[in-house]
Amino acid sequence: MAHLKELLVEELQDLLHAETQLTGALPKMAEAAHNPKLKEAFENHLVQTKNHVERLQQAFTLLGEKAQPALFSRQKNSDRHGKHSQGGDPTHHSQIKRNRKLSHHFSTCSQMHNDCHHGRSNHAI
């Protein structure tokens, strides 16, 4: 059961890291937007993202865990479990899954930012 809690906390840390990154990126994306509707969408997304950060911090409190950046927690876990997890270790597979989710999320945001910067706004938000 402790292992499941560790996985939950790691997932929450990843989400917190991603949402925190977005709180820094969304204002820049809104500022760069030339289309008023796209700008408004980024600003609305920022409000929602800040709410997500607050709720994630509440979840950490309920779990009795410290809300810390995902990269810091991975380094700590790497030190505790050795440099690489074994191929059959569920933690290893969850790390791969998390990395794919984060990569997709940030590439989508980056593409939206590039489209916004170049006057294209055909992405659904």
For residue range 9-68, what is the model confidence (pLDDT) as tens digits? Answer: 988 998 999 999 999 999 999 999 999 999 999 999 999 999 999 999 999 999 999 988
Q: What is the pLDDT of residue 82?
A: 46
* Tokens at 50, concatenated: 């800040």
Single-letter code of the amino acid located at 121: S
Task: Provide the residue ranges of all domains of the chain, joining segments of one domain with +.
Answer: 38-71+107-117
Predicted pLDDT of residue 3: 85
Which pLDDT band holds residue 84 (cuts at 50, 70, 90)? very low
Please indicate, yes or no, whether the overall pTM of this predicted structure exceeds 0.75: no
Residue closest to 14 by CA, chosen among 57, 70, 53, 66: 70
